[in-house]
């Protein structure tokens, strides 16, 4: 149930961000749901591999390179999902930052309610 709730929240936030950011387009809410599922899969499979490969760069940049990895994951999702388009790396970086911040704030509120 928690996984489904995270998918729904992520898709709502991503769909909302597509209206705010000019460089990100999501055609329909169903596309946002597919985006949330694909991002979950990519974050579970591809992201750990990228972090392992780029560990020295991540250490040198004090973890800031993880933002680049997040943007690359968004750009990779753009290639897989029809109806989702990101105009470039900087839009992907901004989208990934805002998506991470807003979803983490919403998840934090949920965990505060349970305590």
CA 72 – CA 113 distance, rounded (Å)? 33
CA 81 – CA 79 distance, rounded (Å)? 6
Asked if residues 42 and 73 have their Cβ atoms less than 8 Å apart, the reply is: yes
What is the pTM (predicted TM-score) of this model? Answer: 0.88
Chain centroid to CA 102: how far?
Answer: 11
Which ranges of 21-64 does DSSP label H, i.e. alpha helix? 29-53, 55-60
CA 88 – CA 85 distance, rounded (Å)? 9
Going by pLDDT thresholds of 50, 70 and 90, the confidence category of residue 2 is confident
Kindly report the length of the chain: 115
Q: What is the pLDDT of residues 38-90, one digit of tens each?
A: 999 999 999 999 999 999 999 999 999 999 999 999 999 999 999 999 999 99
CA 4 – CA 61 distance, rounded (Å)? 34
Instruction: Give yes or no for residue 111 having a pLDDT over 80.
Output: no
């Amino acid at each position: 149930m928690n996984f489904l709730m995270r998918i729904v929240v992520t898709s709502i936030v991503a769909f909302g961000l597509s209206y705010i950011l000019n460089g990100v387009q999501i055609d329909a809410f169903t596309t946002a749901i597919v985006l949330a599922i694909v991002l979950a899969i990519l974050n579970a499979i591809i992201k750990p591999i990228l972090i392992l490969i780029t560990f020295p760069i991540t250490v040198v940049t004090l973890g800031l390179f993880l933002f680049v990895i997040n943007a690359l994951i968004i750009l990779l999702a753009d290639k897989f999902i029809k109806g989702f388009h990101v105009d470039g790396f900087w839009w992907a970086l901004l989208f990934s930052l805002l998506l991470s911040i807003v979803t983490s704030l919403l998840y934090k509120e949920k965990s505060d309610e349970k305590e």
